[in-house]
Amino acid sequence: MAVVGVLALQGSFNEHIAGKLHLFSLRKIGVKGIEIRKPEQLRDVTSLIIPGGESTTMAKLAELHNLFPALREFVKMGRPVWGTCAGLIFLANKATGQKTGGQQLVGGLDCTVHRNFFGSQIQSFEAELPVPELASKEGGPETFRGIFIRAPAILEVGPEVQVLADFPVPSKRLLGSDPSLEDQKENDEEESKVIVAVRQGNTLGTAFHPELTADTRWHSYFLKMGNEITEAASRSCVPVEVSVCHKQPPQNDLPIFQ
C-alpha cells in the first residue's frame, strides 16, 4: 500500500485521508494517509499533500512546530508535493492579498497567488473546469467540477510552470487584485482568465478541493508522480494501482460562480 503524508495542522486533512459524507478519500483507493505534524515525520513518506484550510493559521502552527525548514527541504529534494487551496498558497513563491504582516511560505511553485481572490466564505462556489491534461492522463470527462471555498487564484506563472486549469473572470476583477495592471483599465469590461491548477516538476497546486468530490482523478494524477520516484529508486517495485472513479459528486449547496 502506498503511503502519502498529509499535513495535519488545520483544515481539510481528514477529508483527504478518511473522507466524509462517503466522498473521496485516500483510504478508499487503497492508499494509506499519514498525518504529518512534526518535521521528523516527513522522513516516513515520499509524497505530501498540504490541504486547504486557513492559510494564516496553518502558517503560524507550522512556525510553532518548526516545520518550514523541513517542508522547504522536502520540496527542494523533488519529492511530490500537492497543495490544495491554502496549500497552494503555501507552495507559491509569492502571495498577495495577505493579512497584515503576511505569512511564511514554503515556496517551490514559480507563481504569484492572490489569497481569497474569489471572496469570502459565503462567496464559495462550484464550476466546471476544462482539464485537458487531466483527461488525457486519467481518462474520464474533459471537465472537472471544482469546489472553490474562500479560494485563491494564480495571477502569474513562470516559464517552467504548466497550467492545468484556468477559469474565466471579468477583467475588472483581475485588475482590482493586481495594482500593477492599472494601465489596462480600458479593457476592464473584457473577460480574462485566472489560473486555478498548475504543475512544476513534482509540485502540484490546485485552488479548489478535489477531496470534496467523488472524482479521484486529481489524486490518481498526484499518486503517479510519486510512483515515478519509486520506480526510479527501485525497478523491482510494483507501481501502485489506483482505482480511478469519475462519477458525478452528490449535489452540493454551492452556487455557480458569476
Choose, from 16, 114, 209, 246, the residue flagged as catalytic. 209
Among 16, 111, 211, 219, the one annotated catalytic: 211
Q: Exactly one of 85, 111, 126, 138 is catalytic; which is it? A: 85
Cell, residue 89: 498558497
Pick from 7, 200, 166, 177: nearest CA to 86: 7
**149 marked ligand binding residue:** yes
111 catalytic, yes or no? no
Q: Is 235 among the annotated ligand-binding positions? A: no
53 is in an annotated binding site: yes
DSSP 129-162: EE-HHHHHHH-S-SEEEEEESS--EEEEE-TTPE
Does 182 carry a binding-site annotation? no
Neighbouring C-beta atoms of residue 133, cutoff 10 Å? 15
Under 8 Å between Cβ of 196 and 206: yes
Cell of 98: 495577505
Rounded Cα gap, residues 166 and 197, in angstroms: 7
Residue 16 among the catalytic residues: no
**Distance (Å) of CA 224 to CA 31, 65, 85, 202, 241:** 12, 30, 21, 10, 9
Strand partners, 31: 2
209 catalytic residue (yes or no): yes
Residue 17: in which H helix or E strand, if any? Answer: helix 13-17
Give the integer Cα–Cα distance in Å for 120 and 118: 7
Q: Count H helices and E strands in the chain, helices first.
A: 7, 12
Annotated binding-site members: 53-55, 115, 149-150
Residue list, annotated binding site for L-glutamine:
53-55, 115, 149-150
Show which residues are catalytic. 85, 209, 211
